[in-house]
Amino acid sequence: MIQMLGAFQISQALYVVAKLGLSTALVDGPRTVEDLAAATGAKADVIGRIIRVLAPMGVFRTDGGKVESTALGLTLAEGYPGSVRDAALFWMESHYAPFGELLHTAMTGENAATHYYGKPFMDWTSSNPAMADIQTRTMASLTHALRAGMFEGYSLPEGNLVADIGGADGSMICQFLAREPDRRGIVFDRPEIVPSARKVLADHGLAGRVSIQSGDFFESVPTADVYILSYVFHDWDDESCLRILQTIKNAAAPGARLVLVESVIPPGDTPHPAKLIDLTMLAMTTGRERTAGEYERLLAAAGFTMDGIVPSPTMFSFIEATLP
């Protein structure tokens, strides 16, 4: 219990490592604490003590007066394969302080981020271009890390035109369409988000087959045969999800297919990452993680028929539905 209660100290120490670029400075090999201090502009005594705390946890190794980053520590290095540095910066600079208001959420039902920032979290990030940029990079890096192997053995329902609603930088639609050259696609997201998709699509050779459109999915979405919503619904309450589904109904023809890429909470006390992520949703948004039954009821309320849930080797599943 003491370890759990004190975990906030470790997350702050890891944030310092990520923000100062200590792991980045160790990519090419061991260095002394004094070298690291000079390279980062930090105080040698302070970073030495932080390293001393994190070394027994497997983040660093120390030997002969020099510090070396472990494979775990290198996940905080900028640009390193498998890096989660962007996530460290994003969470600690946008989530950490609002979580101090979780008691307010428990007593009032208002999410902590809205109480702390004075506006909904999505509105706060949208009004802060630098934060919106790091949010996009974070979601892309987490998508790559947490969804590794997710697409193996899975194909989208039939349909020539695929729209990725809330598609961010286009990473998700690239995973699908790279293997299916006869399909075309659309990446649809907020105006401040979609510019990041241009490079991703070009890098995957899909710029000619996938268009980019901006807008508000509460107001309208493009017409398509298949709609992907990847990790979108968990950001919103049921009422908001129903509004999104209604805009899809307004744009789609009968028979259109819907694929929600989400975590599905298992029953009982079975461990699952979605249960912890639901705490993030509770504090930061009006959203939530859901059970299979909750998704089925939500889709039915909007007039969609849930066809089934296809699990993947990861924490995510493909929830398929049809518009009758």
Active site residues: 234
Q: Can you tell me the distance from the alpha carbon of 195 to that of 207, in angstroms, rounded to the nearest whole number?
A: 13
Token readout for 309 is: 């849930």
Q: For residue 169, give Cα distances in angstroms to 35, 133, 138, 264.
A: 37, 10, 11, 24
Q: Can you tell me the distance from the alpha carbon of 245 to that of 217, in angstroms, rounded to the nearest whole number?
A: 9
Residues recorded for the chain: 324
Token readout for 140 is: 């892309």
Q: Can you tell me the distance from the alpha carbon of 84 to that of 76, in angstroms, rounded to the nearest whole number?
A: 6
Long-range contacts from 129-134, C-beta under 8 angstroms, 24+ separation? 129/192, 131/90, 131/93, 131/94, 132/192, 132/193, 133/196, 134/86, 134/89, 134/90, 134/93
Which residue in this structure is represented by tokens 């990847």? 230
Q: For residue 181, give Cα distances in angstroms to 144, 178, 202, 238.
A: 22, 7, 15, 35
Dihedral of alpha carbons 267, 268, 270, 272, sign: positive
Residue pair 265/278 in contact by the 8 Å Cβ criterion: yes
Q: Can you tell me the distance from the alpha carbon of 191 to that of 210, in angstroms, rounded to the nearest whole number?
A: 17
